[in-house]
Amino acid sequence: MLNLVLELEYLEVAFYEDAVARGAIAGELLEFATIVGGHERQHVEFLRGTLGSQAVAQPRFQFGDSTRDRQAFTQAAITLEDTMVAAYNGQATNLTPAALGAAARIVSVEARHAAWVRDIAGETPAEDATDAPLTEREVRSTLARAGLRKRGGP
């Protein structure tokens, strides 16, 4: 199930790169996208190394207006980062101890990303004392509603 989070990490990398390239964000949001995008690239490399030949290939994504407008970007980034934490938590019971160890090294950083972008937006960095895990289906549905999806797929 690490391939699900690898696919989501690919999504994050592409999302932040697209937003920076389009020039619709500036200031702290640009700093956020640049720094977090770098973290996400490192997550991809870590997961690809962990999965080896079992790693899924990087898909292509579509973002709608979420990388063309500051407000749309901010809301999409909040949804994306919150969903990443829930996806990692949701996959925890499906992982071997070694894979769980790999995921644990990343999920705490994803939570920091979520808190940072929420703070930029003037929202509470952590809405609740605990995070609800999401299934793969719930993750894909949440991201699709936010306009963040693979090209040609959910």
Give Cα separations from 105 to 108, 121, 151 (angstroms): 7, 26, 29
Prediction pTM value:
0.92
Cα–Cα distance, 139 to 144 (Å, whole number): 9
pLDDT of 35: 98
pLDDT of residue 145: 87
For residue 151 the two structure tokens come to 């090209």
- Which residue range is the domain that position 79 belongs to? 2-53+62-150
Number of domains within the chain: 1
Instruction: Label residue 40 by pLDDT band (50, 70, 90).
Output: very high
Distance of CA 154 to CAs 21, 139, 141, Å? 24, 10, 8
Q: What is the pLDDT of residue 152?
A: 66
Q: Average pLDDT for residues 35-41, to the nearest whole number?
A: 97
Instruction: Please determine, for residue 1, whether its predicted confidence score (pLDDT) is greater than 80.
Output: no
H-helix or E-strand containing 150? Answer: strand 149-150
Residue count (the chain): 154
Per-residue confidence at 98, pLDDT binned at 50, 70, 90? confident
* Residue 61 host element (H or E): strand 61-62
Give the pLDDT mean for 144-152. Answer: 81
